Structure 1
């Protein structure tokens, strides 16, 4: 049994049909062949998609092909499915039918699968944040499998609470405030480092995302206590693990720091992943002499400005997921079989130690076959594009655009991930979406205010010294709309038949969200965090339906 997410349209336009008719439904109605039942292979689906959407690029065609192929062939009766709803609720069901094409149905409701809805109004707040994050992809059809997703969705379908990820750090959940974290690091001493995910680490301060304000607060708190996180908590994804160490303690009688003592004592008792963290700390300590500030909250090679938030290669989930690959000495047929089965354009070629020795692609295979009728894997292997997880992602975008991928390696130069152009499309699509949403909210507010409220009353909502600078609603800050629309005369001028108090509360919540959004964070905005702003936009579209 597997678990899937199948959305009901970008704006939930197919939700009612899905729930009332007991169906999963996807779009792509322009497919000339219509019924995909006879498309047994991915290549046949791709050909149909490419013919229907000739203006789209190869990565979009490939992405859409994968989603349709999953919907038609990979989803099986008995699988679980999650449908996120625009109402901040979630429906959970069990697939009971194979793919169907309904030629006589309305546009957008033709590609379907039958489903038995088991829960139709599950509150998102009943789902733990890591599973909610997994539901946040912009794709219409995708599988969720990480963090025990299948078992957890099954529990939700039975009306039970989300049991949480099977490898959840129960101890980390007890660190409910910074003081408890400090005390635990102190209690453990040198022999037992405290390790936890960045997600759990941030939760100690009650935050979910890393942006300048929260990062500065955490860094200052760590520095005041003489602690260091290794690797820096500003690097990696929210599920990356870090160690919290007493880096600022003075040297002991032997002249060594707590971090150095920790790296040389009792490592055999640690897990492999946690041992790597401590060894990373030792390498960092060895690279530079301590300053008067010790290692408070940052590694010694960083400058005095502290930890900067950067968008690293490692911030992409695919950079931390071991890709399928072939090994030196494998047959070329092994590579081509995997590439056809998985729909890959290329595969890394690794040596026995897990280090990159090159890449095999359809282009390199074609070139090898021009030179020889039956080439081996070695002849079809070309130099691969390889990045460190700590590199700035922006420096690699051009390479990914040119070659279609970049292989990611860890500090030991072993392959640990693969980023494709499709990964970038999804990642930056996820990042652009909140900005587009907030922009439409602001544009709608400006339009209705300019249409309904005289300029003198608009100017009255800002401080006197700024009134002369206001020539229309476009000159207002987002926060000014609250004060403008709080006035009974202005609110009445809108002619909206909605509750003023609830609207102003939603406007304030959106203002806070907008301000947080404008501060850079390497962490994506989840659907759950988008919900209040989406609700406000839907309300504005209802009361002011002009396009």
Structure 2
């Protein structure tokens, strides 16, 4: 049993048709019938022909989504449809791919579905599963955190049971004091380990903003605690150990961190992290910075499928066709990279020898370290389509592709786009409804002369302007003033937080204030 998300358009434009007709709709206007197209390469050819102005990475991304829609989604699988109402519908796939030639363009690629429930409140779904649903892709699988079983439970009207691997103990650490007490209670050879996500939740924080990082660092310093590796490194689901780094040395003259460096009592993930850290840095070097590293990408921490040195080229080709891969890493028995086999390298090897071996088709692969700055590798990924990721032992631990970057940066850009449209609509309404002298009245006197339009106002100034009863009446809006101002203030706080760098993505739940306010402004001021 598998679970998928199939969106109904970027703004839910196909939502009504999907629910009323009992279908999943893939969109992709202008693309013809895919019924008789069996392979990923053939779908890629069709996509490239339908969209000749698109680059190879966009074509590849769209090909992957359409291949899932046509071939990978199976009858009996669960499917989730996020709705504009901030609810979700859940159904069970009831048929194979169909092409409706007589339907309107954009409504032709369909899969039959039996909708089991259409009004699940997103707030009833735990944040990790909500975050998994937050991809910008139209068609994607929910494969993490026991998603399929949890979707099945929701479809039966049961509450979200949560992650099967959820750390119930971590959830009990509801405040910093409890964390300190737990670290102090534990024996030195049984350190507290938990995910960065659960660690941040102790402070009621979801993302690593600079101010939040500074607050947590100061709290840890005051109590003599340290995280290994630093909680600012890695993805939000990476594991860390919390140690009494400031405790005095034991009888042998060693610190808790030094004693634990080579221990086998920790989880493999934390053992690896501690080995990379080596030992507790001195006090002057403990400034923890938030950097956007390769390890911040989820795919950099997920072991890619591979072949071993000595496998046959047929094995590599079979895996690549079955999984739709463009390349495959070749590893030695220790898990270290010995090269990459790609369709291009296979073609070149076969030109020289029709019976070429895997070794003959293996070429040098691009390899980044988990701790590298991600920005340094964007050009390589753009040019080559991928980069493999290695850990501190130089063993392959992940693979970053152009599609991963597209999704990651698309997710990061979306909040800025929402806030920008909100500000543009506010500016237009204010310039249209208020004279310049009234606009200038809401800014400090020293700056008033530099205000030439609403474009010179800060986000907070709109709240000051519209809080005045006469100004609000001038808008002529038939909505509640207090609720609007509250939504505006919530969005202002969201915007201010957004302006501070964090390596963690904004979740769908955190986007709610901005998206709700934008939908309201679009209704009040429907001009494009």
1:529 aligns with 2:510: yes
TM-score by length of 2: 0.97
Once the two structures are superposed, the pairs formed by residues 504-523 of structure 1 within 5 Å of their partners are 504-523=485-504
Q: Give 1:492's aligned residue.
A: 473
Structure 1 window deviating more from structure 2 (186-195 vs 96-105): it is: 96-105
Distance 2:369 2:491 in 1: 37
Q: Give 1:171's aligned residue.
A: 169
Displacement of 1:2 in angstroms is: 0.7
Distance 2:321 2:252 in 1: 60
Q: Give 2:54's aligned residue.
A: 56
- Is the contact between residue 76 and residue 95 of structure 1 (CA under 8 Å) also seen in structure 2? yes
Q: Give 2:5's aligned residue.
A: 5
- Is the contact between residue 400 and residue 420 of structure 1 (CA under 8 Å) also seen in structure 2? yes
Distance 1:263 1:416 in 2: 21
- Is the contact between residue 230 and residue 280 of structure 1 (CA under 8 Å) also seen in structure 2? no
Distance 2:42 2:275 in 1: 50
Q: Give 1:444's aligned residue.
A: 425
Distance 1:270 1:435 in 2: 40
1:232-257 deviation digits (Å, cap 9, x = unpaired): 11111111100001111122232111
- Is the contact between residue 328 and residue 340 of structure 2 (CA under 8 Å) also seen in structure 1? yes
1:367-411 deviation digits (Å, cap 9, x = unpaired): 222333322111111111111101100011111112111110111
1:546 aligns with 2:524: no
Displacement of 1:105 in angstroms is: 2.0
Q: Give 1:110's aligned residue.
A: 108
Displacement of 1:210 in angstroms is: 0.7
Q: Give 2:369's aligned residue.
A: 388
- Is the contact between residue 88 and residue 121 of structure 2 (CA under 8 Å) also seen in structure 1? yes
Distance 1:450 1:434 in 2: 24
Structure 1 window deviating more from structure 2 (272-281 vs 318-327): it is: 272-281
Q: Give 1:296's aligned residue.
A: none
Distance 1:460 1:131 in 2: 46
1:163-192 deviation digits (Å, cap 9, x = unpaired): 111111010000000000011011003121
Displacement of 1:277 in angstroms is: 4.2
Q: Give 2:401's aligned residue.
A: 420
1:324-352 deviation digits (Å, cap 9, x = unpaired): 11110111111122222222111111000
Distance 1:268 1:473 in 2: 62
Displacement of 1:322 in angstroms is: 0.6
Q: Give 2:412's aligned residue.
A: 431
Pairing partner for 1:321 from 293, 302, 305? 302
Pairing partner for 1:357 from 338, 344, 347? 338
Pairing partner for 1:128 from 126, 135, 143? 126
Distance 2:264 2:428 in 1: 66
Superposition CA RMSD, Å: 1.5
Structure 1 window deviating more from structure 2 (386-395 vs 38-47): it is: 38-47
Distance 1:46 1:262 in 2: 51
SS in 1 for 2:217: helix
Q: Give 1:253's aligned residue.
A: 251
SS in 2 for 1:105: coil
SS in 2 for 1:243: strand
Once the two structures are superposed, the pairs formed by residues 180-219 of structure 1 within 5 Å of their partners are 180-219=178-217
Displacement of 1:11 in angstroms is: 0.6
Q: Give 1:284's aligned residue.
A: 279
Q: Give 1:230's aligned residue.
A: 228
Displacement of 1:206 in angstroms is: 0.3
* Runs of 4+ deviating beyond 6 Å: none
Q: Give 2:30's aligned residue.
A: 30
Which 5+ residue runs of structure 2 have no aligned equivalent?
Answer: none
Displacement of 1:354 in angstroms is: 0.3
Distance 1:279 1:347 in 2: 28
- Is the contact between residue 88 and residue 528 of structure 1 (CA under 8 Å) also seen in structure 2? no
TM-score by length of 1: 0.94
Distance 1:530 1:418 in 2: 28
Q: Give 1:158's aligned residue.
A: 156
1:493-533 deviation digits (Å, cap 9, x = unpaired): 22222222221111111111111111101001112211221
1:273 aligns with 2:269: yes
Q: Give 1:242's aligned residue.
A: 240
SS in 2 for 1:171: helix
Distance 1:388 1:361 in 2: 21
Distance 2:5 2:479 in 1: 33
SS in 2 for 1:512: helix
Distance 1:274 1:516 in 2: 30
Distance 2:260 2:299 in 1: 31
- Is the contact between residue 189 and residue 265 of structure 2 (CA under 8 Å) also seen in structure 1? no
Q: Give 1:337's aligned residue.
A: 318
SS in 2 for 1:147: coil
1:54-107 deviation digits (Å, cap 9, x = unpaired): 000111111111111111121111110111112211111111122222222223
Displacement of 1:261 in angstroms is: 2.6
SS in 1 for 2:501: coil
Distance 2:261 2:451 in 1: 61
Aligned length: 528
Q: Give 1:96's aligned residue.
A: 94
Q: Give 1:297's aligned residue.
A: none
- Is the contact between residue 247 and residue 255 of structure 2 (CA under 8 Å) also seen in structure 1? yes
SS in 1 for 2:168: coil
Distance 2:406 2:172 in 1: 38
Distance 2:159 2:445 in 1: 54
- Is the contact between residue 30 and residue 105 of structure 2 (CA under 8 Å) also seen in structure 1? no
